[in-house]
Every structure is written in C-alpha cells, then in structure tokens.
Amino acid sequence: MSSVANVAIHESQFPENVRRDLLASLRTGEVNHKFHYDSVKQTQKWLALHQKYSPSRTDPDCAAIYDRSFEAVRARIEANKVHVVGLGCGGGQKDTRLLRLLQKGGKEIFYTPSDVSTAMVLAARVAALEVVLENNCHPFVCDLATAEDLPKVLDNFAPADAMRIITFFGMIPNFESEVILPKLATFLRSKDLLLFSANLAPGNDYRAGVRKVLPSYDNDLTCDWLMRFLLDLGVEPGDGEVSFRIEDDRNVAGLKRIAAYFQFNRKREITIEDERFQFGPDKPIRLFFSYRHTPKIVRLLLDNYGIRVIDEWVAKSEEEGVFLCTRK
C-alpha cells in the first residue's frame, strides 16, 4: 500500500459549502447529520458506538443476512467488470466483505468508498485494499444531499462497461425519504443493482417496536458522540443535556423516528465568524434523528421513487433488513 492516498473531494464538501450548511443548521436549530462525522475524533466515537450497538456487529444472524445478500448479488452478475459504490461507506467493513466475494468469483473490481467524512473514506479504503488493487480504489468525499451531478462523477471512477453495484447501508435512517430517494434512483442504470439496508422496528406493533430499540440510542456512547459537535462550538456540558424522543415524520404519514435534542438550561451564544446564534431553555437544538421502518414501509417508499425490491433478508430479531433492488 502506498504511503499516499488520493482522495477526490466534491465541491459539495468544499469549505464555503460546509460553512453554508453549518450556518443553516444553527439558524434552523436542526443539525445536519454530516457534522457528526466531521473530525477524526467524531469518526472514532461513531465507530466505537457502531461496534457496541449496531446489530450487524452484535447479532450474528444480522451479519448473516448481509452475507446472504452478497451471495445473491454475486449470482446475478454476468459482467466481468464490477464497480462497487459505497454510498455512506462508513468504515467499509460490509463493502469489503462483498468485494472479497466478488474477487473470488474472478471479477475485475473497482471500488468507490463515498462519505461526507474524509476519515471514513480513508478507513474504508484501508479495509478494501486487502481485496482491491490500489489503482482501482477511488475514495470520494461528497454530500449526497446537496450534490447534483454524482452519477456523472461516478462514471470517472470505473470503465463504462463495468456493472455498478451501489451499497446504501445504514443511511436511510438519517435522511428524509423525499430528499434522498429521488437522488438514489438517479444512480441506478438499467442493469445496476442496489443493496439497501434499513433499521427496522421489531414486532407487529410498530410504535412498540420503535420504543423497544430506543435504548440503543439513549445511552452514554451516543450522547458522547453527539455532544462532540456542540462542544467544538463552545457549548459546555453544564449548559443542558441530551434527551431522546419518538416523533412522527413531517411528510410521510405513519412513519416514526427517534430524535435527539439538546435542551439548554441556560442561555448560550454560539459565534461563527461574524454571526451569532442564541439558544436557551425555550430554544433546544435537534442534534440527530433516526427513522425506524418496517419491510412494508421500505418497499412502498422505494416503489414511490422508481426502485423495485426484488429480494429481501430480515434478521430474526426483526431489527434490521437488507433489500436487493433494481430500477423499475
């Protein structure tokens, strides 16, 4: 492995655009999730949280549904060249398991780990280079929510005749569906495949299922990770506390999410260059939200945006599912 890594950075993550998004977060009191992955320290805190609470790490059956989905993808591939695009790649562990399986099948593999966090794409690159040639690995930093030309950009990272497999693991919980799903649909060409995972609410009672998983959010590791953003802006731990609640989605009837808010117990001013933002007991700030779906809701949402589910795997715990999709 070379001691130098080449990372492509989309203009959506250029400093002036990051600053714009940060100011928008403070003006609205609703933090853009990307700011929780901004630094190496935040990335390490998130990886530790993921290791302890993610079902894909703690539940062997959950890990197995990913492996079964990877086998299903391998069986469908006829092309000799395959381009795996990890949208929101995180540390790249799941993508690397898929890459390893494709390599064993004799495919020429290209990999684009993509995330808003440079630290994340570098972690995914290191994991993938156990399998992929360094010249075929193209780390890519971008903001999925604001970048408009990503399908065209991805064409630069692999030959035109390479079949594209898009992975979208653990991402849909942190996006409003009407924002991200139209964009996701534009990535899929006629013969491409999408592997899409969702955090689910277990059981037949949807709201009770959401309540059941609340402790995996409402814990010290999650609070420590989320607070890093505020601490870096000058908020002090004694200014308030993080609280979690279950709330209804604003646009999709019946859909619920778990949200984290910082409730101030005293006034606090946050200054960004020449702009000042006032917070206090009457003005909390939303730090985070995470949707919990059901398989039925996932299928309906994807279908609304021209994405067809052709197979699915749900863990025995019913807390996570993987969906194999194509364009309708």
Which pLDDT band holds residue 49 (cuts at 50, 70, 90)? Answer: confident
pLDDT at site 30:
97
Q: Is residue 2 part of a domain?
A: no
Q: Are residues 76 and 188 in the same domain?
A: yes
Asked if 160 and 74 sit in the same domain, the reply is: yes
- Whether 63 is in a domain gets the answer yes
Any long-range contacts for 263-271 (C-beta under 8 Å, 24+ apart)?
264/239, 264/240, 265/239, 265/240, 265/241, 266/239, 266/240, 268/234, 268/235, 268/236, 268/239, 270/26, 270/233, 270/234, 270/235, 271/234
Would you put residue 118 in left (φ > 0), alpha (ψ -120 to 50) or beta? alpha
Q: CB atoms < 10 A from the CB of 178, how many?
A: 14
- What residue spans of the chain are helical by DSSP H? 15-28, 40-53, 55-58, 60-76, 93-104, 118-128, 150-154, 177-187, 206-213, 220-232, 295-304
Say if residue 221 is in the same domain as residue 308. Answer: no
- pLDDT tens digits, 137-155: 999 999 999 998 999 999 9
Residue 63 sits in the same domain as residue 174: yes
Q: Is residue 46 part of a domain?
A: no
Give every CB contact of residue 115 below 8 A, 6+ residues apart in sequence. 37, 86, 88, 89, 90, 121, 124, 141
> Domain of 211?
206-292
Could you tell me if residue 16 is inside a domain? no
Strand-pair partners of 189: none
pLDDT band of 200, cuts 50, 70, 90: very high
Instruction: State the Rg of the chain over Cα.
Output: 20
**Residues linked to residue 141 through DSSP beta bridges, in sequence order:** 9, 115
State how far the Cα of 52 lies from the Cα of 45, in Å rounded to an integer.
Answer: 11
From the centroid of its chain, how far is CA 243?
Answer: 22
Q: Which residue is listed with tokens 């409402």?
A: 218
Between 125 and 46, the higher pLDDT residue: 125
Query: How many structural domains does the chain have?
Result: 2
Q: What value, to the nearest 5°, has the Cα angle with vertex 224 and ends 218 and 226?
A: 80
- Domain presence at residue 30: no
Residue 307 lies in a domain: yes
CB 163 within 8 A of CB 83: yes
181 and 79 within one domain: yes
Residue 206's pLDDT band (boundaries 50, 70, 90)?
A: very high
Tokens 């440079």 label which residue?
A: 118
Rounded Cα distance between 13 and 147, Å, is 9
Residue type at 155 in one-letter notation? D
Torsion of CA 232, 233, 235, 237, to 10 degrees: -10
Strand partners, 244: 260
Q: Does pLDDT of 57 surpass 80?
A: no
Average pLDDT of the residues of the chain: 93
Write down the pLDDT at residue 72.
97
Has residue 31 been placed in a domain? no
Q: Considering the entire predicted model, what is its pTM?
A: 0.92
Q: What is the pLDDT of residues 71-123, one digit of tens each?
A: 999 999 989 999 999 999 988 999 999 999 999 989 999 999 999 999 889 99
| Cα dihedral sign, 124-88-134-63 | positive
Q: Are residues 160 and 274 in the same domain?
A: no
Q: Are 17 and 142 in contact (CB under 8 A)?
A: no
The CATH number given to whatever domain includes residue 95 is 3.40.50.150
Whether residues 170 and 313 share a domain: the answer is: yes
Residues 65 and 160 in one domain: yes
Residue 48, token pair as written in the block? 């530790």
102 with 77, same domain: the answer is yes
Distance CA 299, CA 203 (A): 17
Chain segment 218-276, per-residue pLDDT in tens: 999 999 999 999 999 999 999 999 999 999 998 898 999 999 999 999 999 999 988 99
Q: Decide if 37 is inside a domain.
A: no
User: Which of these, 292, 295, 296, lies nearest to 259 by C-alpha position?
Assistant: 292
Q: Are residues 174 and 228 in the same domain?
A: no
How far is CA 143 from each of CA 34, 95, 126, 184, 307, rounded to the nearest angstrom? 8, 19, 21, 13, 21
Say yes or no: 176 and 63 in one domain. yes
Domain shared by 215 and 133, yes or no: no
